[in-house]
Chain A
């Protein structure tokens, strides 16, 4: 308390982050006692019951939030002007910005084609998005009579067989007479789980750098700028940063995350399984991979434990049955595997995931 009294207010504010970090580290290392409560002690309910209870929560300060959203409407002309000048809009702040961006698009972008990417989804096929954009530009080129009948066979109609580089090159070099024409790409949660690998971010940056493409995106993660370096952020995306806190709950975005308090849901998601597996040892990941590959190649039957033990021994992943049992117990605790009785009475291991989800998990832990 005496030391606290000596601190000046300026120093206090300036060093807040670093002091909190260092103090937390010191406390974490010094204090040895930990909480003895477990998550399994909580009485869990069915998922549907939990969702019903969540939907009945009444929000506070509805009037103030409505005023805040209305005040953002006055910024719409500025945003559309920035888009016309070639900038990309990046919305950040507390609360879901999906309703705000969709309202902006439906009121101000009626003259333009708009393609929406929901980044909060678990899997996104970016190539289909680029193909859709290329088709919009292709139709625009044909409508403006820019391409004569003689030139038509030379330039190729966008299709799925083209590579991503060809599609992006076409988008960048499409010649359109209308100088003000552009296609707007709205990306909800550009830092969402479906867009987090670096290759996807590089493709999005190249897409934003095309002459006829404008991007309106939102971020929610505090460290989202780590996806981009200076060239991507300032040259390719050419972000204009807008702080637009809405304080609206993340209803749609949160739908795709597993509820911790829910009773065991029907199937684990890719994200939960990936998080659990990445925290295990490398050998445990390899054991799970053997099980996953077997299930992908034999969809109907599970893998007998004796077969799994043989393969793991061959690949030097486990040295004894006890070691393998400890891995399997870990998997069972996290509901990654289930044990079924085979028709001949043998215990078989089964992963309660779809084949598509299982392939994604195997890719993630590689």
Chain B
């Protein structure tokens, strides 16, 4: 039990460290909150109990080669280093391992996440606040230690702050040497860590921040400063037309299934029971995703379901063959439904608990949902807006050359009479053309075409009585539907604002604006069914 507690600590610390605001978090959170003492140089350390390298390697299965590589590049105490570029997909342990290594090595770092520092000013001020041991509080009016908006100011302030920090570190080191104490050595190096570095690419159109950060090694020209970039994209996605010292890339590949098994088995009370659970479920889930966060979240409720038949809920019983078979039969129906919900943030979480208490299957719930969807639309729009939506869908879906035959009732009947039976080759070519049209997606159409189709559909429909039509004051097209036109244009604008229809340009009057329908065929069929409109009759088919 003590071993589990010790091992649980780094995971929790790591997550809180990685997700906290740019300042490094301390183990003494309670003391920090109560006393708010001034910051010292020790606050640049990761903190926590000392941890050995073997503990880190065992805490991160499958990462021993990467851990040893990073340690080799960091080198022994007071070693200058080249910049590091740590990259890999999400949830591969990049940030956690870096923070745990600095905890193990007991060296000062300045940690900044480019997600919480979402532009260059905030990043600059966060780094300087940490280096200048500055905490925002009511005394200083919650201001930053330094106000700098330009990169040149940042470099000057950074050089000045780093010089001071390095001097303090050297003084501290000399005191330790004179006292002949070797345990508390933290060395003269200071490390700048940039997490989520891939987000910097989108910050600035002119891309001044990216060459600046990559050039910090050359600009500062200080051997006591180390730079570490952590990114989820590879180095070749960082384009820069200026030269700089290439950071050393360290790749964190995705975890294998065996690694994932070892990671998930940690911190489990009953190792054998959980292992038998993973035997039946892990292969299916790894086919969908290999991200530890998603897998852990998805497998947790399933494991609770797995343990339901057991009397003690899986606390201490070692499963035998008969029990394994029984548990497998119990969990099998739930695996398939759980697979579909890995990436869904379900709003049924509370209902899900009640469903499980009532011993009902989620499949029943989903069937209820599906039957509910077929009955009615989820939203209410007016009748003319529905016709407008259907007109937009038809205008996007059908080629413009078919308009006369489809929508002109006289011409349509003539064409239908004269239609010949197509040959087999022509049939195949038509089907191919239809497939191509579907794959290309919806086309664009001008406003006049939409209004022409709308007029045809409305006249075909029986009894087009509508609430909005009571509005007799309206912008009338001469000879057309007098009171309807302005309302139709207003409803078209409302549909554009609701993202049912995409509008090409911001000004709807100047130039020729083109529109495009964004709804799917299912939604169009629902709208048509609510109007009792024969939509399939107007769709372009072979």
Asked if A226 and B508 make an inter-chain contact with CB atoms under 8 angstroms apart, the answer reads yes
Q: How far is the CB of A33 from chain B (nearest CB, A)?
A: 20
Interface string of B466-490 (1 = CB under 8 A from A): 0000000111110110000110011
Tell me if A278 counts as interface (CB < 8 A to partner B): yes
With A222-B477, A240-B473, A241-B486 already in contact, the answer to whether A228 and B507 are too (CB < 8 A) is: no
Range of interface residues on B (Cβ < 8 Å): 35 or more
- List residues 46-98 of chain B with CB under 8 A from any CB of chain A: none
Tell me if B449 counts as interface (CB < 8 A to partner A): yes
Select A230's contact among B411, B449, B490, B511, beta carbons within 8 Å.
B490
Select A22's contact among B452, B476, B479, B485, beta carbons within 8 Å.
B452
Tell me if A148 counts as interface (CB < 8 A to partner B): no
Q: How far is the CB of B85 from chain A (nearest CB, A)?
A: 28
With A17-B451, A21-B449, A222-B477 already in contact, the answer to whether A229 and B497 are too (CB < 8 A) is: yes
- List residues 418-460 of chain B with CB under 8 A from any CB of chain A: 447-449, 451-453, 455-456, 459
Interface window among A6-14, A71-79, A180-188 = A6-14
Nearest B-chain residue to A279, judged by Cβ: B511
With A198-B506, A225-B475, A229-B490 already in contact, the answer to whether A17 and B455 are too (CB < 8 A) is: yes
Tell me if B491 counts as interface (CB < 8 A to partner A): yes
- List residues 210-226 of chain B with CB under 8 A from any CB of chain A: none
Q: How far is the CA of A6 from the CA of B492 in the complex (A)?
A: 35
Q: Which residues of the partner chain A approach B506 to less than 8 Å between Cβ atoms?
A: 197-198
Q: How far is the CA of A29 from the CA of B459 in the complex (A)?
A: 26
Tell me if B493 counts as interface (CB < 8 A to partner A): yes
Q: How far is the CA of A278 from the CA of B505 in the complex (A)?
A: 11
Nearest A-chain residue to B489, judged by Cβ: A225
Asked if A22 and B410 make an inter-chain contact with CB atoms under 8 angstroms apart, the answer reads no
Interface window among B120-128, B131-139, B366-374, B396-404 = B396-404
Asked if A196 and B507 make an inter-chain contact with CB atoms under 8 angstroms apart, the answer reads yes
Q: How far is the CA of A11 from the CA of B400 in the complex (A)?
A: 23
Asked if A241 and B407 make an inter-chain contact with CB atoms under 8 angstroms apart, the answer reads no
Q: Which of A29, A198, A225 counts the most chain B CB atoms within 10 A?
A: A225
With A221-B509, A229-B494, A230-B494 already in contact, the answer to whether A25 and B477 are too (CB < 8 A) is: no
Q: Which of A29, A224, A229 counts the most chain B CB atoms within 10 A?
A: A229
Q: How far is the CA of A306 from the CA of B407 in the complex (A)?
A: 56
Q: Which residues of the partner chain B approach A219 to less than 8 Å between Cβ atoms?
A: 475
Asked if A223 and B447 make an inter-chain contact with CB atoms under 8 angstroms apart, the answer reads yes
Tell me if A316 counts as interface (CB < 8 A to partner B): no
Asked if A7 and B507 make an inter-chain contact with CB atoms under 8 angstroms apart, the answer reads no
Q: Which residues of the partner chain B approach A6 to less than 8 Å between Cβ atoms?
A: 410
Nearest B-chain residue to A241, judged by Cβ: B473
Tell me if A81 counts as interface (CB < 8 A to partner B): no
Q: How far is the CA of A197 from the CA of B455 in the complex (A)?
A: 28
Tell me if A63 counts as interface (CB < 8 A to partner B): no
Q: How far is the CA of A51 from the CA of B133 in the complex (A)?
A: 74
Nearest A-chain residue to B485, judged by Cβ: A225
Count residues of chain A with CB under 8 A from any CB of chain B: 43
Q: How far is the CB of A198 from chain B (nearest CB, A)?
A: 6
Q: Which residues of the partner chain A approach B408 to less than 8 Å between Cβ atoms?
A: 15, 18-19, 22
Q: How far is the CB of B503 from chain A (nearest CB, A)?
A: 9
Interface string of A165-200 (1 = CB under 8 A from B): 000000000000000000000000001010011100
Q: How far is the CB of B453 from chain A (nearest CB, A)?
A: 7
State the majority secondary structure of interface residues on B: helix
Tell me if A92 counts as interface (CB < 8 A to partner B): yes
Asked if B459 and A15 make an inter-chain contact with CB atoms under 8 angstroms apart, the answer reads yes
Q: Which residues of the partner chain A approach B477 to less than 8 Å between Cβ atoms?
A: 17, 222
- List residues 476-530 of chain B with CB under 8 A from any CB of chain A: 476-477, 479-480, 485-486, 489-494, 496-497, 506-511
Nearest B-chain residue to A225, judged by Cβ: B489
Interface string of A99-133 (1 = CB under 8 A from B): 00000000000000000000000000000000000
Asked if B489 and A223 make an inter-chain contact with CB atoms under 8 angstroms apart, the answer reads yes
Q: Which of B492, B510, B511 counts the most chain A CB atoms within 10 A?
A: B510
Select B490's contact among A3, A26, A233, A243, beta carbons within 8 Å.
A233
Q: How far is the CA of A197 from the CA of B491 in the complex (A)?
A: 19
Q: How far is the CB of B321 from chain A (nearest CB, A)?
A: 67
Q: How far is the CA of A18 from the CA of B412 in the complex (A)?
A: 14
Q: Which residues of the partner chain A approach B479 to less than 8 Å between Cβ atoms?
A: 13, 16-17
Q: Which residues of the partner chain A approach B410 to less than 8 Å between Cβ atoms?
A: 3, 6-7
With A223-B447, A223-B509 already in contact, the answer to whether A18 and B486 are too (CB < 8 A) is: no
Q: Which residues of the partner chain B approach A241 to less than 8 Å between Cβ atoms?
A: 473-475, 486
Q: How far is the CB of A88 from chain B (nearest CB, A)?
A: 12
Tell me if A227 counts as interface (CB < 8 A to partner B): yes
With A225-B486, A278-B511 already in contact, the answer to whether A18 and B493 are too (CB < 8 A) is: no
Q: How far is the CA of A243 from the CA of B482 in the complex (A)?
A: 12
Select B452's contact among A18, A196, A224, A234, beta carbons within 8 Å.
A18
Tell me if A343 counts as interface (CB < 8 A to partner B): no
Tell me if A231 counts as interface (CB < 8 A to partner B): yes
Tell me if A242 counts as interface (CB < 8 A to partner B): yes
Interface string of A227-259 (1 = CB under 8 A from B): 111110110000011110000000000000000
Q: Which residues of the partner chain A approach B480 to less than 8 Å between Cβ atoms?
A: 16-17
Q: How far is the CB of B385 from chain A (nearest CB, A)?
A: 9
Q: Which residues of the partner chain A approach B489 to less than 8 Å between Cβ atoms?
A: 223-226
Q: Which residues of the partner chain B approach A26 to less than 8 Å between Cβ atoms?
A: 404
Q: How far is the CA of A191 from the CA of B410 in the complex (A)?
A: 38
Q: How far is the CB of B456 from chain A (nearest CB, A)?
A: 5
Q: How far is the CA of A16 from the CA of B482 in the complex (A)?
A: 13
With A21-B448, A225-B475, A229-B490 already in contact, the answer to whether A197 and B507 are too (CB < 8 A) is: yes
Q: Which residues of the partner chain B approach A278 to less than 8 Å between Cβ atoms?
A: 511
Asked if A22 and B486 make an inter-chain contact with CB atoms under 8 angstroms apart, the answer reads no
Q: How far is the CA of A228 from the CA of B407 in the complex (A)?
A: 29
Select A243's contact among B403, B476, B507, beta carbons within 8 Å.
B476
27 examples of A-B residue contacts, CB within 8 angstroms: A7-B410, A13-B479, A15-B408, A15-B455, A16-B480, A17-B452, A17-B477, A18-B456, A21-B448, A21-B449, A21-B452, A22-B407, A197-B506, A197-B507, A198-B506, A223-B447, A223-B489, A223-B509, A224-B509, A226-B509, A229-B494, A229-B496, A230-B494, A241-B486, A242-B473, A243-B476, A278-B511
| Chain B residues within 8 Å of A, Cβ to Cβ | 400-401, 403-404, 407-411, 447-449, 451-453, 455-456, 459, 473-477, 479-480, 485-486, 489-494, 496-497, 506-511
In the complex, besides A15-B456, A197-B507, A230-B493, 9 extra interface pairs with C-beta distance below 8 angstroms are A17-B451, A17-B452, A18-B455, A18-B456, A22-B452, A196-B509, A222-B477, A226-B508, A241-B474
Closest 10 CB pairs of A and B: A241-B473, A225-B489, A226-B508, A18-B452, A229-B494, A21-B452, A229-B493, A22-B404, A225-B486, A18-B455
